[in-house]
Structure 1
Amino acid sequence: MRQRTRMLVIFLMACVLVCTGCSHHGDDLDFVDDRAGLLTSGEKDRIARLGEKLLEELDIHIKTVVLKESPVDISEKAVDIFDRSELGKKTRESRGVLFLIDHMGRHVRLEIGYGLEGVFPDGFVGYIERRQMVPFFASGKVGNGIEAAYELLVEKAYGVTTVEHKESGNGEKTDAIHYSGGAGAETTIEIGGGALEKERSALAAEFNAQPSPLSALEKYGEVLRLRIKDPDLELYTPESRLFFAGWIVTDAQQDNESRKLESDLAAAEVITVEDRAVIRFPLSDRGSNPYFLVRGADGWMLDFAGMNRVIGFNHKNQWFFRTQGHPYLFAFDDVYCDKNGFPHEKRR
């Protein structure tokens, strides 16, 4: 059965693509080559570890290169690096992706290998650049922007490919001389050009605390569909408003979560104890995390700050508990967690 993963905007901003339990093997330059010194050592390590996992489990080889000097033509440079790096040679069908960042010339290009042109069409690649990477880069968060873009690629790949947990290095590999046919997209970037403005939404008065937990989550679905980024909505707990004020929210994140939430709502289960509530979804879909809510004087509010403390995601966007010492445990009496915090139904 095809396994689908989904990213959720709130946790992406806090624990974007944390590769839990990954062992270090292989050459980091196979996955990240920062010639300009733009990334921190921690960012390079996370990107490399993530690249290893995606190669092992998705048979996709993704590499990030940050140029020190601007090329005459970034598209030609991308094809040259792609072929010199032999991106896709370690996969079965030239399944390589190159993130090429020219910070001096203010351009970024995603080059797509032959074997992935049907999975990552040019329109989708351009959407990732404009709606996901650019906002992070503008705030000076280059590493986070790269990781966030990787997550959308993972989401798309799991929605298209039928291959699961394919190990690299086995089976027939490509003997192609050229690994890229020029597919992909490029866009203009501004690194550190300024943080995203979080202006008060003209519709803020429509997004207050709600009479029930489910109506609060449905209202949040409207926030996503309308791409509202106002952190001070009264639909959120006071602590969550502070939480949102410090995080970047992109159009791509909101679009993705909106689609997922719309498909999940029919299976929602609401569990309430006094002034706290949890909205759960079937554990069979590990990409559908629970939502936490608190009832205040004016109604139910979403507790995203609490969710961030308690819930994390692995490289496949599957949720797990960071800790089991939290005030929402009442909703998980029928669940046990393995050593990594992933929930499972108790046997009856």
Structure 2
Amino acid sequence: MSNRRTEALIFVVILLTGAVSVYVLQPLRSAPLVRDQADILNAEQEERIANYHQAILTTYDIDLRVVTSDSADDIDTLAVGIFEQDRVGENSSTARGLLFLISPEIDQVRMETSRTVEPVFTDIFTSYVEERQMVPFFQADRVADGILATTELIASRAEAALRNEAFIPPAKTFEPSSGAGASTRARIGTGYERPEGPQLALQQGYQPYQVVEAYISAMEDQNANPDLAIYSRASQTMFQDWVVTPAQMRNVAKTYQDCPPAVTRSQGGFAVVQYPVEVRTCSPFFLHREEGAWRLDFPTMSQTIRFNQSNQWFVARSLPENYKFAFAGQAFDQNGFPLSRPKR
């Protein structure tokens, strides 16, 4: 393919959350985005990861690779060699390269970075996302989900970096790794240990916005208790099987702490807490009254509200009848993203 712009490909990307989005994806210059030498991913998982990472390349110009290795060699040395062999960063017009290397043979995972992304994906950051985001999924033997969940944090970090112009000025050619990054134990299949927390007292007369505030506070406190009283019974059941990581909770808390004031719309036993649609990272919350109190309805939210690779929310299916009233004056584009202009 001679021209990256005119011969771009279109793929449907299915994210970890199940969201389906369409992106214009650039053709690759060098090795595949996913090489599963250790045979720990199935074909469908490889495709999901590759498609999502191609969307990251298109959106943030970051060449993000995944290699699983069956080698028993030192992972730091191996990562530097693979980075150069596969020319990680060559697919990026600015030589931004990032490698996820997973070695079940020696129970290690490493993130290796190019010089052009070091100021953004620092050693401290890469160590944090490995330990607090990737490894909990690996412990639950959900390697593909761990990779995708980590990529979501990479995307959030990249989005902020572009706004703040934090990336090093573009390099014109491929640059080998400088050895920056971090390694940790992979702990694949060792068993997920949920970071539990205390029960929250649901004060009588709590209004919907106060329940949402209690949820954001719980995330800030790293409270992953699936049976919190602010959750509906159906939400509590859903969360029993979810992998909840410290990094996810911190990211939720930070996102909503930065949101502008919300408004609450209620009808009968249902309510929606909504933020201005101009701030697309602040998605609405659905609540319904259960046993005399307002509680968060996460099953309905997870079926209705999805996010793209930039963490912007959209409606993935028809709005549920019980909550449709709150969006009566809201227009959406053909992909389900809310529009600032009112519906006519």
TM-score tier after normalising by the smaller chain length:
0.7 to 0.9
Identify unmatched segments of 5+ residues in structure 1: 1-13, 165-171
Deviation of 1:274 (Å): 1.4
Residue of structure 1 equivalent to 2:32? 30
Q: Is the 8 A contact 1:204 1:233 kept in 2?
A: yes
CA distance, structure 2, for counterparts of residue 46 and residue 227 of structure 1: 29
Matching residue of 2:193 = 196
**What is the rounded CA distance, in whole Å, between the counterparts of 1:86 and 1:17 in structure 2?**
31
Change (3 A) 1:87 1:268: same
> What displacement does 1:210 show?
5.6
Deviation at 1:75, TM superposition (A): 0.8
2:193 and 2:202 map into 1 onto residues whose CA distance is 21
CA distance in 2, matches of 1:16, 1:75: 31
CA distance in 2, matches of 1:209, 1:94: 56
Q: CA deviation at 1:312?
A: 1.2
Whether contact under 8 Å (1:68, 1:104) holds in the other structure is: yes
> RMSD of aligned C-alpha atoms?
2.3
Instruction: State the SS of the aligned residue for 1:100.
Output: strand
Q: Distance in 1 between matches of 2:159 and 2:231?
A: 31
Task: Choose the corresponding residue for 1:297, options 291, 311, 322.
Answer: 291
Matched-pair contact (CA < 8 Å) for 2:135–2:186: yes
Partner of 1:65, secondary structure, is: strand
- 1:240 paired to 2:235: yes
Indicate conservation of the 8 Å contact 2:108/2:184, yes or no: yes
Q: 1:98-147: per-residue Cα shift (whole Å, max 9, x none)? A: 00000111100000111000111110110000000010000000000000
Following the alignment from structure 1 to structure 2, what is the Cα–Cα distance between the partners of residues 248 and 79? 31
Between the two proteins, the alignment pairs up a number of residues equal to: 324
SS of equivalent residue, structure 1 residue 235: coil
2:4 equivalent in structure 1: none
Which amino acid letter does the alignment assign opposite residue 105 of structure 1? I
Q: TM-score scaled to structure 1, two decimals?
A: 0.87
CA 217–155 in structure 1, closer or farther in 2 if over 3 Å, else same: same
| The 10-residue stretch of structure 1 (292-301 or 112-121) with the greater mean CA deviation from structure 2 | 292-301
Deviation at 1:91, TM superposition (A): 2.2
Q: Deviations over 1:229-282 (max 9, x none)?
A: 111111100000011111111000000110111122x42111111111101111
- Larger relative CO (CA 8 A, sep 6+): 1 or 2? 1
In structure 1, the partner of 2:88 is: 87
Equivalent residue number for residue 142 of structure 2: 141
Match of 1:132?
A: 133
Give the TM-score normalised by structure 2. Answer: 0.88
- Residues 1:291 and 1:209: Cα distance change in structure 2 (over 3 Å): farther
What is the identity percentage for the equivalent residue pairs of Structure 1 and Structure 2?
33
In the alignment, which residue of structure 1 is the partner of 2:9?
A: none
Q: Report the Cα offset of residue 175 of structure 1.
A: 2.8
Within the alignment, does 1:187 sit opposite 2:184 as a pair? yes
State yes or no: 1:316 paired with 2:310. yes
Aligned to 2:173: 175
The answer to whether the 8 Å contact 1:88/1:113 transfers is: yes
AA in 2 matched with 1:129? E
Residue 271 of structure 1, aligned match among 256, 265, 286: 265
